[in-house]
Structure 1
């Protein structure tokens, strides 16, 4: 795989809507047959990046190639090689699950016999055979998401874009979707995943890019990103609000996590007794401010807090959110 050209290559992608800048020079490289996660809070630029890479939106600057084709000059060839599953299932609720897949097969220029065979294969693969002849309006949210993904695979795409595919799903349905994604990679498909769920990226992604404010602020494996801030985290529970505020000011930019309601602060540590003792002596020299402490492994949440100053799930009025408000645009669910 190391000698193959990348499935996705992007260099210097920029995008603005009027005075609102959404992307500020995004560079990406995604290996074939891997899962790549673009991780960021709402409005960080994830969906705009996907829209550019899937040919729905042209970049203002920069270049991108998907499956070997330029997303601007070779749009048709890119579209034949990809599938896009948006944040919400884009299936026809008036048709049955089987009819939805047959329709997608015909749109993908499969013959009637081939389309029917492919529909049966995908219904079985996504555990939908028992519901194949029920209208989609009777499906649960997880079933609709699985059918939506199955519809995107009818044409055997080389690259599939999953834009926040588990939004709104219950834990069991999310796990089922994770299993499906892992199966896609086993078949050699390249998966480009955007998500706010840090555990999702941790579970699925071979490599992760953290995007914030329209820029990639870090990239690597999950382990590499965690090592950037430290292998472990020291959680301190303070005695009262005054002690919490004093410790927060003292730690400043070294904070990687905080919970004011629980009077808890998290700071990076190597986990050694010497370093933990030094931090406690620095923060609480009189042994009165810290009620208790815990040393735990660093998480992607810690990475996010350290890199962006907020959690991945946190809402913020950012450039992409401003752009949607300004233009009244509604994101397309799929192609």
Structure 2
């Protein structure tokens, strides 16, 4: 039997929402977060901005702004989020208003994060890259920031330069490679960076980066495969991209690597739940399916997830099969 959001206490839904947001599942975090208090509404607006859902963000934040006492000064955080949502919606002169709101906030990682996401949505590559780098330096771990910074590295050429140099391309591939290492199964940092370059009017830089990535031997096979797909989508020639055996070799290597990971997991089902931050990728499946027990099948709280319990520790987990991630959600677990 599935479980709706209304079946789950609000405090528990907030806890689940924090866990989901911490893992970068912002759409899911927004979906499960309650809307009972003004603080909830502000948090939902923030989550919608992080999820790039400007329609929901505008609805939540405008409601909160409209309920504000006219005699009180505006909340700078609310103002920044509202301006960011308006930029994402395509509002004319939205970036100017966002820059003004930014000056009212401390130079914190979360502020830079919001600015980076808003700026990239309208192709403001230089500003998005600068904000993404500042957010990462402050501790933000959103893999999209790596892709945004990578796009800026190759897409913002110095005055008089014809295009990105080899060092810029290598640096961008390194940044996207880091994002690929932590991305979820349905996320594609390579495509995200390329789309951003195209949106900023730099399809030439996108093509050069994709071709370099598809042939870069230092990248893992699955990373080269992603870049190959991007290059093909941009119209590049497949023959120029995989001179050492083509995409079939990449797939074969990827398959052997996944098989080796599965064999490693299958060697032991000793409980690893206590203190775990969860598991990511296909290699987790054997442990999750054979060690954890199903408490509530999919969907749970409207999410494409199932609720699982460890029989040894009683810790609860939300498992997202399609996104290939399993997260602990027990309070205090």
TM-score between both structures, scaled by the size of structure 1: 0.28
Of Structure 1 and Structure 2, which has the larger fraction of its residues in helix? Answer: 2
Q: RCO greater where, 1 or 2, for CA within 8 Å and sep 6 or more?
A: 1
Of Structure 1 and Structure 2, which has the larger fraction of its residues in strand? Answer: 1
TM-score between both structures, scaled by the size of structure 2: 0.29
Q: Whose radius of gyration is greater, 1 or 2?
A: 1
